[in-house]
Amino acid sequence: MSDEGNRIKNQLLGMSHGTASNRLRKMLLWQFVKETSRDFCFRCDKQIARIDDLSIEHKEPWQSAADPKASFFDLSNIAFSHLRCNTVHNGSSRKTQCPQGHPYTEENTYRSSKGDRRCRQCNTNKKRQSQSRGEKADTQG
Ligand SMILES: [Zn+2]
Ligand SMILES: [Zn+2]
């Protein structure tokens, strides 16, 4: 009987087999997140220090997407964040501007290879500064 099999598994694990499987998946995910240096919060940009803080969220709300199902499974729409940052959408924890005061709008932000949010304006300014300092045109276009 499979019921009996499950009962034994649950007993061995001290929890339901389903709960244990979910925990194992999360531990695997946590390991990969850390190994690939993606353990930074999508919302507050701080490091996610503990596995209990890790949450998976959709950058753009999939419910309101043109194709909700596609959006839900779109890996490029997935970000990691602190559980509290994900659940507390009160606006105060989410930064709306960069340290230089440029707005974090859709147009003014981009993602680094690490997946953290960067300010376009600051990036442009930085490039401009280094160019004017060197006083030679960048021919790479
Ligand atoms: Zn956070
Ligand atoms: Zn900026």
**Could you tell me the residue range of the domain that residue 111 belongs to?**
95-141
Number of domains the chain is built from:
1
CA of 116 to the centre of ligand 1 (A): 11
Say if 141 falls within a structural domain.
Answer: yes
Residues near ion ligand 2 (CB < 5 Å) are 98, 100, 102, 119, 121-122
Say if 69 falls within a structural domain.
Answer: no
Most confident of 12-26, 95-109, 116-130: 12-26
Buried b (16+ CB within 10 A) or exposed e, 79-93: bbbbbebbeeeeeee
pLDDT at 26: 95
Say if 139 falls within a structural domain.
Answer: yes
pLDDT band at 14 (very low <50, low <70, confident <90, very high): very high
The average pLDDT across 69-86 equals 93
CA of 90 to the centre of ligand 1 (A): 13
Note the ligand closest to the C-alpha atom of 95.
1
CB 80 within 8 A of CB 51: no
CA of 127 to the centre of ligand 1 (A): 29
Which among 61, 59, 60 has a CA at the least distance from the CA of 115?
A: 59
Say if 90 falls within a structural domain.
Answer: no
Q: Give CA–CA dist 131/33, Å, rounded.
A: 36
